[in-house]
Amino acid sequence: GHQLGGRYEILTRIGGGGMALVYKAHDILLNRNVAVKVLRQQFVHDEEFIRRFRREAQSAAALSHPNVVSIYDVGQEEDTHYIVMEYIEGHNLNEIIHERAPLQADEAVRIAVQIGDALEHAHQNHIIHRDIKPHNILIGKNGRVKVTDFGIARAVTSSTITQTGSVVGSVHYFSPEHAKGISTGEKSDLYSLGIVLYQMLTGKLPFFGESPISVALKHLQEEFEEPRKVNPHIPQSVENVILRAMRKNPNERYQSAREMLNDLDTCLKPSRLSEPKATFTS
Ligand code: ATP
Ligand code: MG
Ligand code: MG
């Protein structure tokens, strides 16, 4: 197959969206598989897209966490701009939801906890993901959750509206404030995580519609069907977490990933939550 940077042998295409294509590749030097994300050809002469692509790599590379996909390398070979990262053998959460949602509460909560851990680490490093959705959550064969695609991540302090003035992200997971194009912060990521949890447990989105605008308006104005009305098997404690994460007023939401994680922890069955206790004999 094609070789990139004298080192990465491109094997098969594994994904990609509007901006980039993702390939499984083999790193010949280190003799291991990697994922290579390549900026789409139509954008390689657009400085803004190249900047955004590099920022994606920088945001993710600033993080080092077991639930965040690791960045190994970035490069450019003629017109090909690429990011090399850890290869996750498994599925993205969107595939899992479409295959077998609703998930058991325990499984869904365990996935949400790992996403929350990744967000806590990102937020502590002043990075907002801004595109938390099932496509961007990878689940390895071992069940380990990895958050990827920091394509529109931002430093906490900078403005939320892009330089071109467009709103970015996936409208189904937008927080109301994101839909309005105003400040997005940590709490916007927690709203999106609430939606992901809702979707894992009900198999459906809380808001959907004809157009992105109509969905955005629903985030702002409409109430959604309560999760337990869709799926009565959802424990009350888990529904409470979803309702709190999805409050329209950011001030009524969890104020930090840690706060949401504390509530998610109490949703897990105590037997599996507690570490085996050390036994002391005298
Ligand atoms: P765009 O930025 O153009 O929207 P994208 O955001 O869709 O592209 P990603 O979200 O990074 O690109 O990846 C798309 C898909 O490729 C993922 O949903 C996943 O299925 C697969 N994928 C991405 N990164 C990896 C990886 N490191 N290991 C395994 N599969 C991956
Ligand atoms: Mg993506
Ligand atoms: Mg992306």
pLDDT, tens digit, for every residue of 112-139?
A: 999 999 999 999 999 999 999 999 999 9
Residue identified by tokens 């390549």 is 38
pLDDT score at 258: 98
Give residue 186's pLDDT band: very low, low, confident or very high (50, 70, 90): very high
Mean pLDDT of the chain: 90
Higher pLDDT, 159 or 272: 272
The DSSP element (H or E) to which 106 belongs, if any, is helix 105-124
Query: Whose C-alpha lies nearest to ligand 1, atom 8?
Result: 17
Taking residues 23-38, report their average pLDDT: 98
**Dist. CA 82–CA 101, nearest whole Å:** 34
Do residues 28 and 9 lie in contact, with contact meaning Cβ atoms separated by under 8 Å? yes
pLDDT score at 234: 98
**Dist. CA 18–CA 1, nearest whole Å:** 24
Give residue 254's pLDDT band: very low, low, confident or very high (50, 70, 90): very high
pLDDT score at 166: 45
Counting from 1 in the atom list of ligand 1, the atom nearest the Cα of 90 is 29
The response to whether residue 85 sits with its C-beta less than 6 Å from ligand 1 reads yes
- pLDDT above 70 covers a percentage of the chain that reads 89
pLDDT score at 178: 86
Of 46, 79, 117, 131, catalytic: 131
pTM equals 0.91
- In the annotation, is 131 catalytic? yes
- The number of angstroms, rounded, from the C-alpha of 143 to the middle of its chain's C-alpha atoms is 16
Alpha carbon of 55 to ligand 2 centroid (Å): 15
ipTM over 0.85 threshold: yes
Taking the CA of 152 as reference, the closest ligand is: 3
Give residue 276's pLDDT band: very low, low, confident or very high (50, 70, 90): low
Taking residues 89-100, report their average pLDDT: 97
Taking residues 77-86, report their average pLDDT: 95
**Neighbour-count burial for 4-20, b at 16+ CB within 10 Å, e otherwise:** bbebbbbbeebbeeebb
**Dist. CA 180–CA 158, nearest whole Å:** 17
pLDDT score at 152: 72
Give residue 155's pLDDT band: very low, low, confident or very high (50, 70, 90): low
23-32, 60-69, 172-181: lowest mean pLDDT where?
172-181
**Dist. CA 215–CA 212, nearest whole Å:** 5
Alpha carbon of 47 to ligand 3 centroid (Å): 17
Q: What are phi and psi of 68, to 5 degrees?
A: -125, 130
